[in-house]
Amino acid sequence: MIKPKLFLDMDNVLVDTLSILNTADPTNFNVAKPDQIPGIFRSLPPVPDAISAVNQLAEHFDLYILSTAPWQNPSAWSDKILWLTQYFGAAEDSVFYKKVVMTHDKSLAKANGGILIDDRPYHGASGWDDAALGTAWVQYGFDAQLTWSSTLVQLLIDTANYYQAHDVTLRAALEAANASRFQLQGPVETFAKAHWE
């Protein structure tokens, strides 16, 4: 059977980014914002349990990275690839080998269906919440139980199993698996950005 598609954001979903960027001083590097510091995206730690979660989900989903990087920080684009190869390998059998999409409008990638796990609504993430296409956006951590260290992995596995057993869209499978237990995303209009964003 063909596995359903699951797209994962990197920052604050797989990579513990904000805890570092919120404390970094960009003036030490002569840049305007901490996300513009050269090399800052290369050595960030993984979000707790993210690596094991990806390995579990790879059994049930066709996984992709869907991320963006600061336009004013060219090293961020390559640093993200280097981070992925460090934690998931660079060989052809790596779960993310040639399955990385870097864009400033993530909604462009939803045309083939799937679910996006992203902690923030902007850069097109909230555009994945599209009933007409059958796509869905799950806001990582908005519901405190929807994290890798809690129930998110099981919800996604249940979604994949439901999708394989029924003739429905992946969005409908997610809704059935969720059964209104968790709030999948928060209101976009009141989302609070970090102070430097």
Q: pLDDT digit string (tens) for 56-72?
A: 999 999 999 999 999 99
Per-residue pLDDT tens over the stretch 137-172: 999 999 999 999 999 999 999 999 999 999 999 999
| Per-residue confidence (pLDDT) for residue 197, from 0 to 100 | 87
| Per-residue confidence (pLDDT) for residue 195, from 0 to 100 | 85
Q: If you average pLDDT over residues 97-124, what whole number do you get?
A: 96
Segments making up each domain of the chain, as ranges: 6-180
Q: Is 11 a catalytic residue?
A: yes
Which architecture characterizes domain 6-180 according to CATH?
Answer: 3-Layer(aba) Sandwich (3.40)
Taking a C-beta distance cutoff of 8 angstroms, is the pair 38, 29 a contact? Answer: yes
Taking a C-beta distance cutoff of 8 angstroms, is the pair 158, 57 a contact? Answer: no
Q: In which band, very low, low, confident or very high, does the pLDDT at 194 lie, cut at 50, 70 and 90?
A: confident
Q: In which band, very low, low, confident or very high, does the pLDDT at 45 lie, cut at 50, 70 and 90?
A: very high
Residue 35 has pLDDT above 90, yes or no: yes
Candidates 9, 79, 143, 158; catalytic one: 9
Give dist(CA 183, CA 189) in Å, integer. 16
